[in-house]
Amino acid sequence: MNCLDNLASISHAIQAIPREGRGFELGETKYYVVLFFSGIIWQCFFLGAIGVIFSGSSLLSAIVIAVLLPVTEVLAVIFYKEKFQAEKGVSLVLSLWGFVSYFFGEVKHDKQKSTETQPLETEMPQSTVANIP
């Protein structure tokens, strides 16, 4: 696929927006409001993810995103009255399983690290008491 094909598909997708707006169940104005705020929310999400990567690590960012996946699924069922189908259940179980497995491994690794014996120091610390004549 070359650059012109990509531009043609983008142009076709942009031309479909007004048609989707007219067919939106809640009305065309609400379609554009939803579209606008969805774009703003996604930008904030990605900016936050980049901030977590910059301030913490990419691993922490991936953990936060992995935690938000089941939260998003549950909130969609509650607020949007979506059906909780088998695919959603499997996705929820797998994401929670991965999250719990990661933290279980971290706790196990930290316990193993703390039980290892520390090497004894061979030098005496220097004394801070002044020599008395």
Cβ–Cβ < 8 Å for 89, 74: no
Residue 41 CA to residue 49 CA, distance in Å, equals 12
**pLDDT given for residue 129 in this prediction:** 60
Show the tokens assigned to 76.
């969609």
Dump the DSSP string for 93-125: HHHHHHHHHHHHHHHHHHHHHHHSPPPPP-SPP
Residue 72 CA to residue 87 CA, distance in Å, equals 14
**pLDDT given for residue 36 in this prediction:** 93
* 60 phi/psi in degrees, rounded to 5: -65, -40
C-alpha 43, offset from chain centre: 14
How many Å is the maximal CA-CA distance in the chain?
98
pTM of the model: 0.52
Q: What is the pLDDT of residues 2-47, one digit of tens each?
A: 666 666 777 787 888 888 888 888 888 998 998 899 999 989 988 9
Q: What is the pLDDT of residues 73-121, one digit of tens each?
A: 888 888 888 888 888 888 888 888 887 888 888 888 888 887 775 555 5
Q: What is the pLDDT of residues 46-78, one digit of tens each?
A: 898 888 888 888 888 887 887 787 888 888 888
Domain coordinates in residue numbering, the chain: 9-56, 57-104
Nearest of 63, 56, 54 to residue 105 by alpha carbon: 63
* 63 phi/psi in degrees, rounded to 5: -65, -45
